[in-house]
């Protein structure tokens, strides 16, 4: 969310898109951390799956937003 806000404040589509790509990369980092959290049993399989699916959905939304710009 912070990357999206920062990119928006830059006031150019080129920079905004760059920050959207960073935000998309952060979504991948979340999935990586979810895998570790599951491995170390900090979260349940059900919570992992729910959050993993949300991160995929968010990544797709960001990709769609990039395409519109």
Asked, for residue 11, whether it belongs to a domain, the answer is no
The C-alpha atoms of residue 54 and residue 31 are separated, in whole angstroms, by 10
Q: What is the pLDDT of residue 47?
A: 98
**pLDDT reading at 19 higher than 90:** yes
Residues with Cβ within 8 Å of residue 15, at least 6 apart in sequence: 7
Asked, for residue 16, whether it belongs to a domain, the answer is no
Asked, for residue 6, whether it belongs to a domain, the answer is no
DSSP states of 20-33 as a string?
A: HHHHHHHHHHHHHH
Q: What is the mean pLDDT of residues 14-35?
A: 96
Average pLDDT value for the chain: 96
**pLDDT reading at 14 higher than 90:** yes
Q: Using alpha carbons, select from 63, 4, 55, 60 the residue that is nearest to residue 34.
A: 55
Q: What is the mean pLDDT of residues 26-49?
A: 98
Asked, for residue 19, whether it belongs to a domain, the answer is no
Boundaries of domain holding 66: 25-69
Asked, for residue 7, whether it belongs to a domain, the answer is no
The C-alpha atoms of residue 40 and residue 30 are separated, in whole angstroms, by 15
Report the domain count for the chain. Answer: 1
């Amino acid at each position: 969310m912070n990357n999206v806000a920062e990119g928006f404040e830059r006031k150019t589509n080129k920079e905004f898109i760059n920050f959207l790509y960073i935000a998309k990369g952060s979504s991948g980092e979340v999935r990586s951390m979810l895998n570790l959290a599951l491995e170390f049993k900090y979260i349940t399989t059900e919570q992992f799956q729910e959050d993993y699916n949300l991160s995929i959905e968010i990544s797709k939304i960001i990709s769609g937003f990039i395409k519109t710009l």
